[in-house]
Amino acid sequence: MNTTPTRSLSSIMDGNSFQATNLGLLPSNEQALIRRRMAALGTSYRLFYRTPVHADRAEGCYLFTPDGTRYLDAYNNVASVGHANQRVIDAVGLQMGKLNTHTRYLQDGIVEHSEQLLATFPEYLNSVMYTNSGSEANDLAIRVARLWTGGEGLVVTAEAYHGTTELLSRVSPAISGGFPEDPSVRVIAAPDTYRVETNDMGAWFAAQVREAFEDLLAHGIKPAAFLADSIFSSDGIFPNPVGYLRPAIEVCHEYGALFIADEVQPGFGRTGDTFWGFERHGVEADLVSMGKPMGNGIPVAALVGRTEILDRFGTEVPYFNTFGGNSVSIAAANAVLSFIQETGLQSQVATVGASLRDAISTITSDAAFVGDVRGSGLYIGVEIVTDRDSKSPDGGRALAIVNDLRDRGVLISVAGPGNNVLKIRPPLVFGTSEVALFSDRFADTIAAAGNA
Is 5 inside any structural domain?
no
Claim to verify: residue 68 and residue 167 sit in the same structural domain: no
Claim to verify: residue 177 and residue 93 sit in the same structural domain: yes
Claim to verify: residue 201 and residue 312 sit in the same structural domain: yes
Q: How many domains does the chain have?
A: 2
Claim to verify: residue 423 and residue 329 sit in the same structural domain: no
Residues 257, 258, 259, 263, CA torsion sign: negative
Q: What is the pLDDT of residue 7?
A: 39
pLDDT digits (tens, 9 = 90+) for 322-341: 999 999 999 999 999 999 99
Burial string for 80-118 (b: 16+ CB within 10 Å, else e) reads bbbbebebbeebbeebeeeeeeebeeebebbeebbeebe
Claim to verify: residue 241 and residue 94 sit in the same structural domain: yes
Q: What separation in angstroms does the CA of 254 have from each of 47, 206, 223, 270? A: 44, 11, 11, 30
Q: What separation in angstroms does the CA of 121 have from each of 117, 125, 197, 263, 274? A: 7, 6, 34, 12, 10
Q: What is the pLDDT of residue 5?
A: 34
> How far apart are the C-alpha atoms of 106 and 50, rounded to whole Å?
50
Claim to verify: residue 284 and residue 390 sit in the same structural domain: no
> How far apart are the C-alpha atoms of 140 and 134, rounded to whole Å?
10
Within a 13 Å sphere around the CA of 103, how many CA atoms are in the beta-carbon half? 18
Claim to verify: residue 46 and residue 118 sit in the same structural domain: no
Q: What is the pLDDT of residue 9?
A: 52
Instruction: Find the Cα–Cα–Cα–Cα dihedral 298, 303, 307, 308, rounded to 10°.
Output: -150
Is 234 inside any structural domain?
yes
Above 50 in pLDDT, residue 270?
Answer: yes
Claim to verify: residue 162 and residue 118 sit in the same structural domain: yes
Q: Over the chain, what is the mean pLDDT?
A: 93
Q: What are the residues whose beta carbons fall under 8 Å from the beta carbon of 56, sequence distance 6 or more?
A: 64, 65, 66
Decide which of 2 and 350 is more confident. Answer: 350
Cis bond before residue 5 (omega within 30° of 0): no
Claim to verify: residue 74 and residue 123 sit in the same structural domain: no
Q: What is the pLDDT of residue 11?
A: 60
Above 70 in pLDDT, residue 10?
Answer: no
Domain span at 252: 86-342
pLDDT digits (tens, 9 = 90+) for 22-53: 777 778 888 888 888 888 888 777 888 888 88
Q: In this predicted structure, which of 13-27, 53-67, 109-123 has the lowest mean pLDDT?
A: 13-27
Residues 169, 175, 180, 181, CA torsion sign: positive
Is 6 inside any structural domain?
no
Q: In this predicted structure, which of 17-21, 191-195, 266-270 has the lowest mean pLDDT?
A: 17-21
Q: What percent of the chain has pLDDT over 70?
A: 96
Is 237 inside any structural domain?
yes
* DSSP 3-state percent helix, strand, coil across the chain (nearest 5): 40, 15, 45
Q: What is the pLDDT of residue 25?
A: 74
> How far apart are the C-alpha atoms of 118 and 276, rounded to whole Å?
12
* Centroid of chain to Cα 407: 25
Q: What is the pLDDT of residue 60?
A: 98
* Centroid of chain to Cα 115: 25
Choosing from 284, 315, 342, the residue where a domain stops is: 342
Q: Which residues pair with 258 in a beta bridge?
A: 225
Residue 448 CB coordination number (10 Å)? 14
> How far apart are the C-alpha atoms of 448 and 401, rounded to whole Å?
9
Q: In this predicted structure, which of 37-41, 201-205, 243-247, 407-411 has the lowest mean pLDDT?
A: 37-41
CATH of the domain at 291: 3.40.640.10
Claim to verify: residue 331 and residue 373 sit in the same structural domain: no
Above 70 in pLDDT, residue 13?
Answer: no
Claim to verify: residue 394 and residue 409 sit in the same structural domain: yes
> How far apart are the C-alpha atoms of 20 and 10, rounded to whole Å?
17
Decide which of 217 and 169 is more confident. Answer: 217
pLDDT digits (tens, 9 = 90+) for 85-140: 999 999 999 999 999 999 999 999 999 999 999 999 999 999 999 999 999 999 99
Residue 56 CB coordination number (10 Å)? 12
Decide which of 12 and 101 is more confident. Answer: 101
Is 4 inside any structural domain?
no
Choosing from 297, 314, 342, the residue where a domain stops is: 342
Choosing from 298, 327, 342, the residue where a domain stops is: 342
Is 105 inside any structural domain?
yes
Residues 144, 234, 133, 78, CA torsion sign: negative
Q: What is the pLDDT of residue 12?
A: 58
CATH of the domain at 367: 3.90.1150.10
Residue 372 CB coordination number (10 Å)? 19
Claim to verify: residue 260 and residue 390 sit in the same structural domain: no
Q: What is the pLDDT of residue 2?
A: 38
Is 370 inside any structural domain?
yes
Is 134 inside any structural domain?
yes
Q: What is the mean pLDDT of residues 182-186?
A: 95
Q: What is the mean pLDDT of residues 379-393?
A: 97
Above 70 in pLDDT, residue 8?
Answer: no
Q: What is the mean pLDDT of residues 299-309?
A: 97
Task: Find the distance separating the first CA and the last CA of the chain, reported in whole Å.
Answer: 41
> How far apart are the C-alpha atoms of 78 and 291, rounded to whole Å?
8
